[in-house]
A and B are shown apart, each in its own frame.
Chain A
């Protein structure tokens, strides 16, 4: 049962990635990104990290991707032609992406990830909440502050646009 789910999720992630890489239609790429993110959320569930999976769905699949698609549709001239992307700067792009890939592989290989399976933790959410407000209080408050600034900034921009 688990193995089937694993294969399914793998296929989901790979299909998403493949579509992103090979399609020239940006809107399709955005949808494929969503597919990938959902697959990754599934992987989180398999490693007993349910809250993370839900956060992934809510923020990335439900939020970021939708804004992305929204942005693509809004910014392009809607004149019937398909929204296509070409490829430019091929060599620099290849070098940068290979570099990033290598860097990530290195970081992952030296990180102390827990590799044994964990038991399902019923109190996960409570623990995360408690550690937010104790160990990581500075980061938590800082993020809250940044978000507040972003919100106020957005309101300010919107107000200016309305006045003119």
Chain B
């Protein structure tokens, strides 16, 4: 419960500064300055934007299917945020102790598709519906490699509980899974790529491509409801980054054995690993162009899925022969 409350507060603060970081990263990669006016170096720009957004009128087109339209943003956010329930914060705050931890997380997060579909359908707008359709096709496709790459880690660790998994990786950087079990390097990349697709981030942002679909499934939303969609997207990024750092990078364990291990330090390690991964996500966003729909599908079904099945097999052999 405490970890859940912690993540709620952290998510809200994170989103404000992640949007700022995103804009600054974009600016620096494009030889620009980015937001500079509000606050020192523009750090309060998102706060100002947030205030503006909250004051906006809640516009509802007359042809929308009103109940699903109003519910959709909250379903998306609830689905994404429920995933945080099983994440540990540090050695003492373990999150919800359900035995099927990471499996639960993947299941509940896949429900956000429902909200997206609802938003796209209820908006009664062809762009929104296109966006929603693309999003669903994409998320369902990429759930396969995502799940398989998580399964590789589960085979090695022998547990579904994320807290347990972090405990197993304690003892310095050398016992992090990606270093102690190098076969997990390829599953990590598959996880990362599918994670980008799951959170609808560039280069897999076809569902909301501004240039073709004017925002996709959230075209018809304004003000606070739109903000909730934005919050969920960043929540998804954070969730997948924290998950990646727990699965592959030792979770809340410090890179040095016996140094910097207190509860605050562990929290710091977990979050800084995740934020680093989020930076990589932003870096990818401003580097790679958007994929075409057929490329998207062939990447998932022809490349990532077969490779992750092979890696699953390799991981099983690794577990059998090397760990015993």
Chain A residues near B (Cβ < 8 Å): 25, 27-28, 31, 34, 50-51, 54-55, 57-58, 61-63, 65-66, 69-70, 73-74, 78, 80, 82, 122, 124-125
Contact = CB atoms under 8 A, between A and B. Distances in A.
The 7 closest A-B pairs by CB, nearest first: A58-B107, A62-B110, A57-B107, A54-B104, A54-B107, A54-B100, A51-B100
B80 interface: no
A73 B133 contact: yes
A78 B129 contact: yes
Contacts, number: 67
Contacts of A58: 103, 106-107, 110
Interface residues of B, number: 26
Contacts of A73: 117, 121, 129, 133
A68 B231 CA distance: 27
B68 A50 contact: no
A20 to B, nearest CB: 15
Contacts of A50: 98-100, 104
Interface of B: 63, 65, 67-68, 98-100, 103-104, 106-108, 110-111, 113-114, 117-118, 121, 124, 126, 129, 133, 136, 140, 160
Contacts of B65: 25, 27, 82
B236 to A, nearest CB: 15
Contact of A124 (B99, B110, B117, B129): B99
20 contacts: A50-B99, A54-B103, A54-B104, A54-B107, A57-B108, A57-B111, A58-B106, A58-B110, A62-B107, A62-B110, A66-B113, A66-B117, A66-B136, A70-B117, A70-B136, A73-B121, A78-B126, A122-B99, A125-B99, A125-B100
Nearest to B126: A78
Given A57-B110, A66-B140, A125-B99, 6 more contacts: A27-B65, A50-B99, A51-B99, A80-B124, A122-B99, A124-B99
A73 B133 CA distance: 9
Contacts of A82: 65
